[in-house]
């Protein structure tokens, strides 16, 4: 009886050992390790034995890469159907439907070919690497994006507020009341005294027509009286002046001209003894009650700026004060030298604190349309020729995918194409994966 039990026990052990050996063989065969030697400076060099690099003569480094055939078979077995817009191939869908951009039917695409076109590198880490590699991931998600455009501007004189004090009749300047450029002139202030024979004659005609009309009260004399009065007003003579002339019964030799506008003198043409013809300017004024603030918008933000948008301004000369304005002009032409677009806002300046030449910091806050896919800015590696993101395939496998990006906002980047919602992108450790791919030949095109 004891012999029978011993035989059964030995048979059970033998069967268990054979099962274990079979599992080990299966595990070994499912994971194949590829060993080769490469140069850290020239990763395109691959040799099957130790030696020196034929280019720089450095010692070759041993590299071991594990290939998991089971995982590869599962990846090949998992196939999805994909449709894309015929005119917009970057717009895709997992089911057959109408293109949302132009309304045409979507066409079926070869998903394997599309995957090969977007995936430029794959890296599979060994178990020993995972002890030193602690990546952070972010699932691709949708988000309402708010973009803030920061601008630098300068205060300018408003061309809409520029005005002149012209000579409305020929005459010679006898006296100038405005001392210099930069002087502030209000409407109704005296600016010059002029001697004008034609103006004196017009004043005498007014006195004669007025006195005649007051005596006869006829329609003809009334018309002459009104015409002479209107002529003096068109020449810039105030009502108080010509009524004073009528009261005194004579016209002064030098007649005072008053300012019709308010502003700061920018140009002072009037000097004593200078003769002015009708239409020439005594002074040029600039009214600073409203000023322009002109900004430079960078080319990448130029398409987002529109007339009517609100802008918040802070002036360096007025710390702590915030002013709100509205964009009322967008230049139709981009400056080819600075690659910027000129935009402008008109700001009230009733207290006169804002002066031309002051610098302003401004900000425009925009709510972008839709709910685009977004990833953190740190997940994008910009090589100059293309932008890539590293996506997690498994705990040990990662792939680098070419992506097209849109707007950036508060640390997030809009993903136009290349990723889908739910993909886990690497946000910390992606540069290590990129270096691993370049060092050990993971990139399909090393020139990029």
> Which band of pLDDT confidence, cut at 50, 70 and 90, is reported for residue 5?
very low
Distance of CA 308 to the CA centre of its chain: 16
Other residues' Cβ atoms within 10 Å of the Cβ of residue 319 = 7
DSSP state of 271: -
**How much is the average pLDDT of 25-39?**
62
Residue whose token pair is 């308010």: 262
Structure confidence at residue 61 (pLDDT): 84
Structure confidence at residue 376 (pLDDT): 92
Residue range 148-159+288-367, CATH number: 2.40.30.170
In 3D, which of 147, 144, 158 has the Cα closest to residue 363? 147
Residues 6+ apart with CB under 8 A from 271: 173, 176
Domain 119-145+370-439, architecture per CATH = Beta Barrel (2.40)
3-class SS shares of the chain: helix, strand, coil, % to 5: 25, 40, 35
Residues 6+ apart with CB under 8 A from 368: 144, 145, 146, 147, 407, 409, 414
In 3D, which of 259, 265, 276, 236 has the Cα closest to residue 165? 259
Q: How many Å is the maximal CA-CA distance in the chain?
A: 163
Q: Where are the domains of the chain?
A: 2-78, 79-109, 119-145+370-439, 148-159+288-367, 168-276
> Which band of pLDDT confidence, cut at 50, 70 and 90, is reported for residue 442?
low
> Which band of pLDDT confidence, cut at 50, 70 and 90, is reported for residue 408?
confident
User: Do 372 and 142 contact (CB within 8 A), yes or no?
Assistant: yes
Kindly report which listed range (41-55, 122-136, 153-167, 258-272) carries the lowest average pLDDT score. 122-136
- Given a cut of 50, whether residue 194 has pLDDT beyond it is yes
Structure confidence at residue 443 (pLDDT): 61
- Given a cut of 80, whether residue 33 has pLDDT beyond it is no
CA 124, 126, 129, 134 dihedral sign is positive
pTM exceeds 0.75 for this model: no
In 3D, which of 355, 354, 351, 333 has the Cα closest to residue 342? 333
Task: State in Å, rounded, how far the first CA of the chain is from the last one.
Answer: 76
Q: Which residues pair with 390 in a beta bridge?
A: 400
What is the H or E stretch that residue 17 is in? helix 2-30
């Amino acid at each position: 009886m004891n012999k029978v039990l011993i035989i059964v026990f030995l048979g059970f052990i033998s069967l268990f050992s054979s099962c274990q050996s079979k599992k080990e063989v299966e595990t070994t065969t499912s994971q194949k390790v590829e060993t080769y030697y490469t140069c850290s400076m020239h990763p395109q060099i691959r040799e099957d034995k130790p030696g020196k690099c034929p280019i720089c003569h450095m010692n070759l480094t041993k590299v071991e890469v594990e290939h998991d055939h089971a995982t590869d078979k599962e990846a090949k077995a998992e196939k999805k159907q994909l449709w894309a817009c015929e005119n917009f191939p970057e717009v895709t869908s997992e089911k057959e439907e109408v293109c949302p951009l132009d309304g045409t039917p979507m066409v079926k695409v070869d998903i394997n070919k599309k995957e090969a076109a977007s995936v430029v590198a794959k890296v599979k880490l060994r178990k020993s690497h995972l002890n030193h590699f602690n990546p952070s991931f972010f699932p691709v998600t949708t988000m309402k994006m708010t973009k803030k455009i920061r601008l630098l501007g300068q205060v300018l004189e408003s061309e809409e507020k520029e005005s002149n004090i012209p000579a409305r009749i020929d005459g010679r300047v006898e006296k100038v009341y405005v001392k210099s450029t930069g002087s502030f002139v209000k409407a109704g202030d005296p600016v010059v005294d002029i001697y004008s024979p034609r103006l004196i004659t017009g004043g005498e005609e007014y006195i004669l027509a007025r006195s005649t009309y007051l005596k006869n009260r006829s329609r003809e004399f009334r018309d002459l009286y009104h015409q002479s009065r209107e002529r003096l007003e068109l020449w810039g003579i105030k009502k108080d002046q010509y009524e004073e002339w009528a009261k005194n019964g004579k016209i002064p030799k030098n007649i005072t001209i008053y300012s019709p506008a308010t502003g700061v003198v920018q140009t002072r043409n009037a000097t004593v003894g200078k003769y002015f013809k009708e239409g020439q300017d005594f002074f040029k004024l600039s009214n600073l009650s409203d000023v322009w603030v002109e900004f430079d918008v960078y080319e990448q933000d130029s398409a987002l700026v529109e007339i009517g948008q609100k802008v918040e301004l802070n002036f360096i000369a007025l710390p702590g004060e915030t002013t709100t304005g509205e964009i009322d002009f967008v230049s139709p032409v981009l400056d080819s030298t600075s690659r910027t677009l000129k935009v402008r806002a008109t700001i009230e300046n009733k207290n006169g604190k804002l002066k031309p030449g002051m610098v302003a910091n401004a900000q425009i806050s925009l709510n972008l349309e839709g709910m685009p896919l977004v990833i953190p800015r740190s997940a994008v590696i910009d090589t100059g020729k293309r932008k890539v993101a590293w996506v997690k395939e498994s705990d040990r496998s990662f792939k680098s995918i070419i992506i097209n990006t849109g707007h950036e906002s508060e640390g997030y980047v809009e993903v136009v194409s290349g990723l889908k919602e739910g993909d886990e992108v690497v946000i910390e450790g992606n540069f290590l994966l990129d270096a691993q791919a370049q060092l050990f030949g993971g990139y399909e095109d090393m020139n990029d």
